Amino acid sequence: MTTVFLLITAVLTALIAGLFYAYSCSVVLGLGKLSDTEYLKAMQNINREILNPVFFMSFMGTAVLLPVTAFLFKGQQPAFLFLVLAAAAYLVGVFGVTVAGNVPLNDMLDKFDISGAAIEAVKQMRADFENRWNLLNNIRTVFSVISIIFVVCACIWNKEV
């Protein structure tokens, strides 16, 4: 049963790592080429649409399953240690950065009335949002990749497989 938890945890962690990786190496690059108004509208739409059950299942599921799976492997070295490290990387570098950094930026952008704003206000909103959001997303990408590397190590060194 612990191996089933480990495999589900690995899949969810990989899905989230892939999401943030895809943003970092393609989505934000494409969005960066848009005009200020187009960029802000696109990000508003993306930030609204990502709030869906599929995303929440993988994002929140990973936050729950990593520590639960680590607990299930307590006493089974080195898999337990790898899972603790994966959970720490995810909870701090992905979940924590998202909650403390990206979500407040997304909320700020969501409240911004693009159609009623002056050109300078639109330009300022993009300046306040884009670089900071991208930096935080890159941090999430690095930590989610670190997390999946640790989960893969736990899979490789799982003595039950």
The pLDDT tens digits for 119-153 are 999 999 999 999 999 999 999 999 999 999 999 99
Q: Is 72 inside a domain boundary?
A: yes
Q: Are 6 and 158 in contact (CB under 8 A)?
A: yes
Give the residue among 82, 88, 77, 97 at the shortest CA–CA distance from 20: 97
Torsion of CA 122, 56, 153, 94, to 10 degrees: 30
Q: Is 51 inside a domain boundary?
A: yes
Q: What pLDDT score does 1 carry?
A: 87
Q: Are 83 and 146 in contact (CB under 8 A)?
A: no
Q: State both tokens at 133.
A: 């959001």
Q: What pLDDT score does 158 carry?
A: 83
Domain count, the chain: 1
Q: Is 161 inside a domain boundary?
A: no
Place 160 in a pLDDT band, splitting at 50, 70 and 90: low
Q: State both tokens at 44.
A: 């508003």
**CA 52, 59, 141, 136 torsion-angle sign:** positive
Structural domain of 54: 2-156
* Average pLDDT for 36-65: 97
Q: Are 69 and 83 in contact (CB under 8 A)?
A: yes
Q: Is 88 inside a domain boundary?
A: yes
Q: Is 9 inside a domain boundary?
A: yes
Q: Is 63 inside a domain boundary?
A: yes
Give the residue among 84, 62, 57 at the shortest CA–CA distance from 9: 62
CB-facing half-sphere around the CA of 159: CA atoms within 13 A: 8
- Measure the CA angle with vertex 7, ends 6 and 12; round to 5°: 100
Considering the entire predicted model, what is its pTM?
A: 0.94
Average pLDDT, the chain: 96
